[in-house]
Structure 1
Amino acid sequence: MNRLLLIPLAPLVAAASSVCADLPEQIDALCQPYVESQTVGGMSVGIIKGGQAFVRGYGQLSADDSTEPDGETIYEIGSVSKVFTGLLLAEAVIDSRVSLVTPADELLPKGVTMNRRHESLPIRLWHLSTHTSGLPRLPSNLDTSDPDPYANYGGRELAAFLKEFQPRKRPGEQQAYSNLGAGLLGSLLAREQKTGYDDLLQKRVVEPLGMKDTRVKLAGDQRDRVAPPHTGGGLAAREWGFDQLAGAGGIHSTANDLLSFAQAQLDPPEGDLGQAIDLAWMIHQQPIDEDDFAMGLGWHVARDGSTRWHNGQTSGYHAALFISRRFDAAAIVLTNTATGEVDALAGQIIRLLAGQKEKPREFEKTLEIDPELMRGYAGVYRFAPGVDLTVTTQGGRLMAQLTGQPAVRVYPRSETEWFYKVVEATLTFQADGKGRGTAVELFQNGIRQTAKRVD
């Protein structure tokens, strides 16, 4: 949920060859490199193609638990939650409780206000679902330095922000990804029904679709099936809690449940929920700028004009969901590693299901490095006043943290040159005769910068 990772999915064109009977083995070939390269720790992958549906598990839950994830393993799905919130909006419209053009401020609690850019231009509910509301990505009074930033952001904090916020854009003027907007939408829809977001989700979507493990707050044995969260570097992370902004990224789910959800998108059930699924699937917002995606309610529409998708990331998880009605196919990728690398995997899988040939990804191989050498590099390196690179070793991994940014794992290309996976950049260390690091060179975007050790 930290950011939207843009997926420029190329047009899906039906290939001459059909998807073979050995589809599970083809999926394995695409997925295994992500585990073998340690890009992810554990991963559950759900597939629908025609009448075939299955889940494959890869890797293990953690360094201390060799259990392979499966279809019942529970993950945080981050911003994929926005698709569920969009469907809740569509369901409320079909049920005539609200309309897409209902002004958001009309559903606020008594005494809570939000400013309009112009009195005649309210933020409407569909603006919140298509990221055209003019609201920022996050409210300014949410503490992003908190390791669990959304857990204590409640109604009082949201009301305080809305009261002070002055919109700079007219609703519909610009597409700008907003966790706040989606979270507010979920809160308003729940309040309209005098209930909480999780209860609304259960009643209107989860229970009708037979999804037993999709919810904000887990209970009972569900806690025992949660995959332990990890950072992109493989270190232990923490789960996130949600209060008022749960509709933006607070849902947990499993590959099995998301297969049920995806099948309902491919073949909507009869009745109001099926109509709501079709309403959410429709395109409600065309791209405004060149880099924008068309949008349904919560859904991003891929460049092929047909595939619907969303991804999501929290502190220790990443999720991606791609669905194509044209090819009667869906790809679900859930991992307990916070890395956007798996979005490329989901894209490969949906193209494979469309009949295209896909080659397994080749990751750069890394070396086995003496832990003593890594400990020699650990220290603080200064590029400029206030701009330090702090290098640490954690669990046999070398971590690099630039001032104001999270610690990220770097990987050895040689004993002195280390590379990032999250960005195109390298670190090259200099050391004295005793192996103690004395300086490091950062190479990124064609620019080399050297930092001297200062600790």
Structure 2
Amino acid sequence: MSFVFAARWPALLLLVFLTSAPTLAADEMAARVQQLAKPYIEGGGLVGMTVGVVHDDETLILGLGRVARDVEQTPDGNTMYEIGSVSKVFTGILLADAVQQGRAALDQPAGELLPAGVKMPARGEHPILLCHLATHSSGLPRLPSNLAPKDATNPYADYTVDNLYDFLDGHRLRREPGEKVEYSNLGVGLLGHLLALDAEQSYEELMQERIAEPLGMTDTCIALSDEQRARLAKPYNVDGDAEANWDLPTLAGAGALRSSMSDMLKFASAALSPPPGELGKAIELSWQQHQDPLAEGDFAMGLAWHIARDGTTRWHSGQTGGYHSVIYVNRQINAAVVILSNTATGEIDVLGEQIVRMLAGAEVEPRNFDEPLKVDQAMLDRYVGKYQLVPGFVLEVTTTDGKLYVQATGQGKARVHPRSDTEWFYKIVDAKLVFEVDDQGKCTSLTLHQNGMKLPAKRLDE
């Protein structure tokens, strides 16, 4: 199982058509954003979200849905969320800040910031540089191979600094640093750890001193106060099931931050127009392009910022077990969009792009989501059972509260959704199941369709 606190390596092709569109009045902007956002709550499977927009002198915060399924409360600008890999943008700014202060250099070998006796992987004479960690070109994998959580619902909580150092000591790079762009939560998490070591602070202390406090961001943190925890939206996965909150004590720089929309719009405004002084210089350095695309499908990179294919928009998304976030900043149209959701689905990345395009003057229509197919309990029950793909690897199908779940040997349980009576699809991966039913209405087998393969599994007799 792959535990990620970011969206998959970005596949979004953001193409903003810039025009001379006038700034919308506050009420008109609110109406248009509401029109684009509502379908995601009504048919897109989101429990709740807060949408934030800065455009010229206008600022909008719009809450939709609920802070929890069983609570009649709409999220607002003070609702707290896990922001996942949007934390990486903060880490990129912290690197730029260290450079501005003369404490680090972009072309500095990252191993120089490790404690004595800990070895940084290298390839021949080519060390991993700090800029490689910030641009996903270090050659480090997405996750460390010794990540083995005791609790899958909080997968990073028990990953220690000693675990990290053990991994670094034993890892061998498969390619030279700078040779390929490959999204790495490990790489940016390590960068945050190194910067905190150098500053002799925790990552949270460093981030708050150098970024949050100068910008007046009082709700951006890792450890929540009791009052902030009371404002934390409850987390849900892409299937709408309740999830647990995540803790990232060692790889904090890759995805540990929590924040509110009120705070994130302060951050977005600073990215649009950096303040004077050291922080503004760091924001500007992080904004600049530091990595060209190296292969088809790559994005150019700032320091942790993705640079969209329009060459202008900077953006990043983030995801934990029960939250998704996204930020877009476009200086050419003087606009920023932030969306925070308590549902772990990348659908809101599309909504963010829609809003940016609308602000740029493009005609954007609200999305239509298909009504979910309703299946009665008798049909669900006929699929319940165990199906063997190969000896020792079984798919177990169960039903709970009118929903169908599948659990593969050694993996977690995942919900599947109906496209028809016999075809069911996953939301967490690109895969589907097709059940085979005989003339008597009994399910005899299924076929797993994934990665271009069709894998039949015969039902085991019970």
AA aligned to 1:157 is N
Check conservation: 2:7, 2:317, Cα contact below 8 A. no
Give the TM-score normalised by structure 2. Answer: 0.91
Check conservation: 1:19, 1:355, Cα contact below 8 A. no
Q: 1:444 to 1:104 in 2, by over 3 A?
A: closer
The CA distance in 2 between the partners of 1:365 and 1:352, in whole Å, is 26
Structure 2 counterparts to residues 13-162 of structure 1, below 5 A: 13-15=17-19, 17-18=21-22, 20-21=24-25, 22-119=28-125, 121-143=126-148, 146-147=151-152, 148-162=154-168
AA aligned to 1:267 is S
- Note the aligned Cα RMSD (angstroms): 2.3
**1:12 equivalent in alignment to 2:12:** no
Deviates more, 1:421-430 or 1:66-75: 421-430
AA aligned to 1:14 is L
Check conservation: 2:382, 2:443, Cα contact below 8 A. yes
Task: Name which of 333, 336, 339 aligns with 2:339.
Answer: 333
What are structure 2's unaligned runs of at least 5 residues? none
Deviates more, 1:246-255 or 1:425-434: 425-434
Deviates more, 1:168-177 or 1:186-195: 168-177
AA aligned to 2:133 is L
The alpha-carbon deviation at position 410 of structure 1 amounts to 2.8
Q: 1:145 to 1:361 in 2, by over 3 A?
A: farther
The alpha-carbon deviation at position 32 of structure 1 amounts to 1.4
The alpha-carbon deviation at position 6 of structure 1 amounts to 1.7
Once the two structures are superposed, residues 180-226 of structure 1 have per-residue CA deviations (whole angstroms, 9 ceiling, x without a partner) of 11011101111111111010011000111111111112122111111
Deviates more, 1:71-80 or 1:108-117: 108-117
Once the two structures are superposed, residues 104-128 of structure 1 have per-residue CA deviations (whole angstroms, 9 ceiling, x without a partner) of 1111112222232224x22111111
Check conservation: 2:119, 2:168, Cα contact below 8 A. yes
The alpha-carbon deviation at position 253 of structure 1 amounts to 1.1
**1:396 equivalent in alignment to 2:397:** no
- 2:356 counterpart residue number: 350
The CA distance in 1 between the partners of 2:67 and 2:391, in whole Å, is 41
The CA distance in 1 between the partners of 2:325 and 2:107, in whole Å, is 30
The alpha-carbon deviation at position 146 of structure 1 amounts to 4.0
Task: Name which of 246, 249, 252 aligns with 1:240.
Answer: 246
Q: 1:422 to 1:361 in 2, by over 3 A?
A: farther
The CA distance in 2 between the partners of 1:434 and 1:71, in whole Å, is 56
- 1:273 counterpart residue number: 279
Check conservation: 2:323, 2:343, Cα contact below 8 A. yes
Identity of aligned residues (%): 48
AA aligned to 1:225 is R
The CA distance in 2 between the partners of 1:194 and 1:298, in whole Å, is 22
The CA distance in 1 between the partners of 2:207 and 2:452, in whole Å, is 48
The CA distance in 1 between the partners of 2:20 and 2:324, in whole Å, is 33
Deviates more, 1:79-88 or 1:436-445: 436-445
Check conservation: 1:331, 1:350, Cα contact below 8 A. yes
Task: Name which of 316, 339, 348 aligns with 2:322.
Answer: 316
The alpha-carbon deviation at position 72 of structure 1 amounts to 1.2
Structure 2 counterparts to residues 216-231 of structure 1, below 5 A: 216-231=222-237
Q: 1:197 to 1:47 in 2, by over 3 A?
A: same
Check conservation: 1:373, 1:435, Cα contact below 8 A. no
What SS does structure 2 have at the residue aligned with 1:57? strand
Task: Name which of 242, 258, 262 aligns with 2:264.
Answer: 258
Once the two structures are superposed, residues 387-421 of structure 1 have per-residue CA deviations (whole angstroms, 9 ceiling, x without a partner) of 43332223432223445654433333444443444
Once the two structures are superposed, residues 52-111 of structure 1 have per-residue CA deviations (whole angstroms, 9 ceiling, x without a partner) of 111111111233223211111111111111100000001111111111122111111122
Structure 2 counterparts to residues 172-183 of structure 1, below 5 A: 172-183=178-189
Once the two structures are superposed, residues 124-182 of structure 1 have per-residue CA deviations (whole angstroms, 9 ceiling, x without a partner) of 11111011111111111111674122112222111111111122222211111111110
The alpha-carbon deviation at position 273 of structure 1 amounts to 0.4
Deviates more, 1:440-449 or 1:101-110: 440-449
Deviates more, 1:99-108 or 1:421-430: 421-430
The CA distance in 1 between the partners of 2:212 and 2:98, in whole Å, is 15
The CA distance in 2 between the partners of 1:402 and 1:350, in whole Å, is 40
The CA distance in 2 between the partners of 1:423 and 1:364, in whole Å, is 19
Once the two structures are superposed, residues 293-344 of structure 1 have per-residue CA deviations (whole angstroms, 9 ceiling, x without a partner) of 1100010000000100111111111111111111111111111111122211
Q: 1:378 to 1:2 in 2, by over 3 A?
A: farther
The alpha-carbon deviation at position 17 of structure 1 amounts to 5.0
AA aligned to 2:33 is I
What are structure 1's unaligned runs of at least 5 residues? none
